[in-house]
Chains A and B, each alone.
Chain A
Amino acid sequence: MDLLSNLGIGFAVAFTFQNLFYCFIGVLLGTLIGVLPGIGPVPTIAMLLPITYALPPVSALIMLAGIYYGAQYGGSTTAILVNLPGESSSVVTCIDGYQMARRGKAGKALSVAALGSFIAGTFATIVVAAFAPPLAEFALKFGPAEYFSLMVLGLLAAVVLASGSLLKAIAMIVLGLLLGIIGTDVNSGLQRYTFGVPELSDGIGFVVVAMGLFGFAEIIVNLEHREHREVFTDNVTGLLLKWSEFKEALPAILRGTGIGSVLGILPGGGAMLSAFAAYTLEKKIAKDPSRFGKGAIQGVAGPESANNAGAQTSFIPLLTLGIPPNAVMALMVGAMTIHSIQPGPQVMTSNPQLFWGLIASMWIGNVMLVILNLPMIGIWVKLLKVPYRLLYPAILLFCCIGVYSLQNNVFDVLMTAVFGMIGWVFVKLECEPAPLLLGFILGPLMEENLRRALLLSRGDPTVFFTRPLSLGMLIAAGLLLLIIVLPAVRKTREEAFHEEAA
């Protein structure tokens, strides 16, 4: 069977001592940083990215994927023990996980989260392995017009599924696209928007943008709040679930896995939407919905499985189409480009070792997460006790060194401060930064495909509408926009995100 032989290649790559080691380090570091409250996967990956530069591409990507799962899982630990989501996808885990912890069931909540993540991770790995190849083959037929339309669809979908004002989010994408084209134009060699600054001629580094908008801005806002935290650290015992609890949790885990696997593939989907949808479903089908919010085990099992499944299947659009569906995947594009791999359908054929090795390592990473997290939970708990006043200066330091080491350049450090400032303004104006990062990554790609499409059609813009695939994608994009402005949908969408934020 094709699938098995392909997975065989992957496991052969992933099971080398070197790659297992980097996968382990990635998961470890990811959990370490992810556990820290107030740092989500995006700044975590941005901060740890420089460590992977010296590695061969396969090892680097395996390590990054490990960092991602680690950060994801570490965020859940924080959500359960501190009631403070480390990242947006654990917002829902807070609701019931924290309540379980308050009732002395912190250990059980953590076990369910780990178990759910593992089952979801295993299933999602199979989904990626099964669906990526046919999709990549399909994508190989795409010309520049199709790619351009696909990007329009992807960007719009990402916005529709994100929270907040639609208009602002679209504007953020366009601003991102604009920032993305700063630097030397590949076709004419002209320096665009560089103001004669030589450091800008290669464009702004995506780590600089991500770190400023997500990392620095978040630290500043956290400091403004001066909140008091209650940490449940003394009674993290009793990790083992009772058989009756296991029976309660398993169906929720399976449902969460299903939802997450599907929603993760959608642009803008990924972990957060999956977790939220799973929680809503569990609450809807529960015999006694009033238990939710008071420590229902399904309220942890469902969303935790869903966010892990979603985190994993969101690799599908990245690996097959080269289009990042969310901010984390946008960072992965950047990481791949640094190792001179152009993400897209050709990766699978031109670089099967990398492709299948990465997929196999997803599963290995999940195994490591379980091994690492349950026995070592005591260490993570200690980490949570470190007060924020000691934590954030250290985070700033690692960010600064990380940014500097990108190109051994002080300019990048100063630029990150500028983006920190811009990020703070965005927070104050309630503009979500994730769409900007997506636009930023896709900017040059989108211009290039638009240019090529119009060159081939001799300047005829109808090319986007006469090619059936391209037309289909544009119609889908139009429908999405139409649906979202319909009053009924708009209302439920607002309610949904409102409930989530509450």
Chain B
Amino acid sequence: MSLIRNPKEFGSGCLFAGFGLAAIVIGASYPVGTAARMGPGYFPRGLGMILVALGAILIIKSLRSKGARIAIKDVRPLLIVLGSVVLFGLTVVPLGLVLSTILLIVAASTASHEFRWKEATIASVLLAGFVVLAFGYGLKLQLPILPPFLGNGG
């Protein structure tokens, strides 16, 4: 039997304590002031201390109470979904709305266990068309539509 009996509680305790500690350390240079004249460091430092305390209680509790393990079945959806969002973010300005939409849809589709190349490609082209009409021309979004090196973008 391991020491940590409630992994979810232990994990969240560490997370909260970590955030609290970070808030205190990073905010160490902000002037605290007095209660009557609160400086910018007063409130965040207080919150940081509360967070560290709550985290510590959770960690202690996790050694005593019992709980289920953290279930991570498959990290592919996480990596692919967030990866395709980042891809869209990085490509939308240099490549324009049409290409970045196609990239996002095809890349994100691969996260599903029912992924089919042909279907995803067709969907991406249709969506790109819709997005250009609705957001590019309809709502007049400030975005280049085609890659700028092809001209007439944005």
Contact = CB atoms under 8 A, between A and B. Distances in A.
Chain A interface SS verdict (over half): helix
B36 A417 contact: no
Interface stretch (A236-244, A248-256, A451-459): A451-459
Contacts, number: 184
A446 B123 CA distance: 46
Contact of A424 (B39, B78, B88, B111): B78
Interface residues of B, number: 70
Contacts of A420: 81-82, 85
A388 B111 CA distance: 11
Interface in B27-83: 27, 30-31, 34-40, 42-44, 47-48, 50-51, 54-55, 57-58, 61, 70-74, 77-78, 81-82
A429 B12 contact: yes
Contacts of B27: 192-193
Interface of B: 8-9, 11-12, 15-16, 19-20, 23, 26-27, 30-31, 34-40, 42-44, 47-48, 50-51, 54-55, 57-58, 61, 70-74, 77-78, 81-82, 84-86, 88-90, 92-93, 101, 104-105, 108-109, 111-115, 119-120, 123-124, 127, 131, 135, 139, 141-143
Chain B at the A interface: mostly helix, strand, loop or mixed?
helix
B44 A396 contact: no
Given A220-B78, A429-B15, A429-B70, A394 B8 contact: no
Interface of A: 51, 54, 165, 167-168, 170-171, 174-175, 177-178, 181, 185, 187-188, 190, 192-193, 216, 219-220, 223-224, 226, 387-390, 392-394, 396-397, 399-401, 404-405, 408, 410, 413-414, 416-417, 420-421, 424-425, 428-431, 446-447, 450-451, 454-455, 457-461
Contacts of A388: 112
B58 A216 contact: no
Given A223-B77, A420-B82, A174 B50 contact: yes
Given A190-B30, A400-B88, A389 B112 contact: yes
Contact of B36 (A219, A413, A454): A454
Contact of A181 (B20, B44, B139): B44
B127 A400 contact: no
A454 B142 CA distance: 45
Contacts of B61: 167
A389 B11 contact: no
Given A167-B58, A171-B55, A420-B85, A397 B71 contact: no
Contacts of A168: 9, 12, 58
